[in-house]
């Protein structure tokens, strides 16, 4: 893959950073389009996008740094090199939720309806962002003999080199794209506010739990025999999503 997209002298533009930026732009553009029908202004969407991006980068990077603390203790400056890869989606998600929750309440935006509005944007943005992971070589899979295995050869890639690996980045990107398509189809058929958001959380937690079995980057840590931290979070989010879907449905009845 190609971790560095362009390099002119000492200046390098990393593919991961470019894809994250593209993911943000596409997600915000979609939210602005959907927001027009929900009476949420472009300015509010941009504000939410800014705080979301900031919180997501801080949370996802912090989670990664905590998992890889031994490396970062020796290389503290590298903590700030987020453009080279090393962001954990769940860390970003858990950091973003309270931030946007506060923003929604402070600006008197309808809580669950606004979460519904942004859910497709998160899905499509995540799908694009995982392509950045593929280019950087992070979040890589276990060795495989399957014909679609990907072999990383670029010395800058974070993945294991010279061995065919499960393209877990593409697995997750495809899963997020499928979830995005489903959410866009289902959003006009929702029966209560919050349904789109919690369906997204439910579907993503299931797909992430499954894809984790094919991941080969053991730095993400494990909480129990073969169960990673991300799978533990997936289980917790799945149960939470089920509870809220039942609760909100009954509340709206």
| 234 within a domain of the structure (yes/no) | no
CA–CA separation, 25 vs 10, rounded Å?
Answer: 27
Strands 11-14 and 227-228: unpaired
pLDDT (0 to 100) of residue 233: 87
Whether residue 196 has pLDDT greater than 70: yes
In a domain, 125, yes or no: yes
Query: What distance lies between CA 145 and its chain's CA centroid?
Result: 28
| Residue 60 within any structural domain of the chain | yes
Find the angle CA(141)-CA(146)-CA(150) to the nearest 5 degrees.
Answer: 50
Considering the domain boundaries, does residue 239 fall inside one? Answer: no
- In the chain, the number of structural domains is 1
Query: What confidence score (pLDDT) does residue 125 get?
Result: 94
Query: What is the domain extent for residue 14?
Result: 4-185
Please report whether residue 204 resides in a domain: no
Is 244 inside any structural domain?
A: no
Using 50, 70 and 90 to split pLDDT, how confident is the model at 78? confident
Between helix 168-186 and helix 195-212 the angle, nearest 10°, is: 160
Asked whether residue 98 is assigned to any structural domain, the reply reads yes
Specify the pLDDT at position 86. 64
In a domain, 224, yes or no: no
Section 146-151 average pLDDT: 94
Q: CA-to-CA distance for 56 and 191, rounded, in angstroms? A: 29
Q: Are 57 and 87 in contact (CB under 8 A)?
A: yes
pLDDT digits (tens, 9 = 90+) for 218-247: 666 677 777 888 898 899 999 999 999 999
Of 72, 179, 168, 169, the C-alpha closest to 130 is 169
Averaged confidence pLDDT in the chain: 88
pLDDT at 185: 95
CA distance 23 to 129: 6
CA 88 vs CA 51, 61, 220: distances in Å: 17, 7, 9
- Residues paired with 12 in a beta bridge: 7
What pLDDT was estimated at residue 69? Answer: 67
What would the pLDDT profile of 91-138 be if each residue is shown by its tens digit? 778 888 888 888 888 888 999 999 999 999 999 999 999 999 899 888
């Amino acid at each position: 893959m190609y971790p560095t997209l362009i390099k002119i002298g000492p200046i390098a533009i990393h593919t991961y950073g470019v894809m994250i930026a593209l993911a943000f732009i596409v997600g915000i553009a979609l939210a602005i389009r959907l927001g027009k029908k929900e009476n949420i202004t472009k300015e509010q969407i941009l504000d939410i996008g800014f705080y979301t991006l900031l919180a997501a980068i801080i949370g996802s990077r912090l989670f990664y740094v905590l998992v890889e603390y031994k490396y970062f203790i020796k290389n503290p400056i590298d903590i700030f090199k987020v453009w080279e890869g090393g962001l954990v989606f769940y860390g970003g998600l858990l950091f973003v939720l309270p931030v946007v929750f506060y923003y929604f309440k402070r600006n008197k935006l309808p809580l669950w309806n606004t979460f519904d509005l942004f859910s497709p944007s998160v899905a499509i943005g995540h799908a694009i962002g995982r392509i950045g992971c593929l280019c950087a070589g992070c979040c890589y899979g276990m060795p495989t003999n399957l014909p679609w295995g990907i072999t990383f050869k670029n010395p800058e890639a974070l993945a294991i080199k010279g061995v065919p690996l499960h393209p877990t980045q593409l697995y997750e990107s495809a899963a997020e794209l499928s979830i995005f398509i489903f959410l866009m189809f289902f959003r006009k058929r929702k029966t209560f506010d919050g349904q789109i958001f919690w369906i997204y959380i439910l579907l993503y937690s299931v797909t992430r739990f499954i894809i984790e079995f094919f991941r080969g980057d053991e730095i993400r840590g494990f909480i129990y025999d073969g169960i990673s931290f991300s799978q533990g979070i997936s289980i917790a989010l799945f149960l939470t999503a089920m509870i809220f879907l039942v609760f909100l449905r009954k509340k709206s009845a």
